[in-house]
């Protein structure tokens, strides 16, 4: 996979890059390990800003993998410590992005394996049913925080709940678990395979 480089940040749809080519977006509940997953999958330690404070990613951050291939780090949803008007702006921008972006070729949803699928994750996935053609992968992040057996059980349970159309991967940036599977999935979406 080529090296990703920062392209631009966007606060609203008017700021998005041209809607051409293919892109994969990462989305997840605040503090689910989304930015850490972006860094692990791209092999760039500091590509996406990582913080223990929920809500650090406040803009849509676009990264380029070369001509017309992008990765997008979306703001987290949920308990981010930001003002209500900022949260509302994020929601409107995310909705506009997810519902109308023609170049969106795949979506990676990060879920903390210890928490499983939350009500907000369920809402997102239900809302995405209108884009049935959109491939979705779920990265069960922070897998190193559970025993191997508990992690496998969580992965199987969520896989059964979501069905075969959604790729579910146990993921740990600390231990390197699931990174290769996520890279293969990402590359397939970006290349149109």
Write out the residue range of the structural domain in which residue 39 sits: 5-191
Q: How far apart are CA 70 and CA 104, in angstroms?
A: 9
Q: Take residue 131 and report the two structure tokens written for it.
A: 């884009």
Check residue 64 and give its pLDDT: 92
Check residue 131 and give its pLDDT: 80
Q: How many domains does the chain have?
A: 1
Specify the pTM.
0.89
Confidence class for position 101, pLDDT limits 50, 70, 90: very high
Check residue 44 and give its pLDDT: 74
Compute CA distances 114 → 62, 99, 154, 159, 183, whole Å: 29, 29, 8, 15, 23
Residue 138 CA neighbour count, 13 Å, CB half: 27
**CATH at residue 110:** 3.40.50.300
Cα 120–chain centre separation:
14
């Amino acid at each position: 996979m080529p090296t990703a480089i920062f392209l631009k940040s966007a606060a609203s749809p008017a700021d998005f890059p041209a809607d051409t080519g293919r892109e994969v977006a990462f989305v997840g509940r605040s503090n689910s390990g989304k930015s850490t997953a972006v860094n692990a999958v791209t092999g760039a330690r500091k590509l996406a800003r990582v913080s223990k404070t929920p809500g650090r990613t406040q803009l849509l951050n676009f990264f380029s993998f070369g001509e017309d291939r992008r990765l997008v780090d979306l703001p987290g949803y949920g308990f981010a410590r930001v003002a209500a008007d900022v949260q509302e702006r994020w929601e409107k921008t995310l909705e506009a992005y997810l519902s109308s972006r023609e170049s969106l070729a795949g979506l990676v949803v990060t879920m903390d394996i210890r928490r499983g699928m939350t009500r907000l994750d369920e809402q997102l996935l239900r809302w995405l049913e209108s884009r049935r053609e959109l491939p979705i992968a779920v990265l069960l992040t922070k897998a190193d925080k559970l025993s191997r057996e508990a992690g496998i059980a969580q992965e199987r349970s969520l896989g059964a709940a979501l069905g075969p159309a959604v790729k579910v991967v146990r993921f740990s940036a600390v231990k390197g678990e699931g990174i290769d599977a996520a890279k293969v999935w990402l590359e397939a979406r970006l290349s149109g395979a």
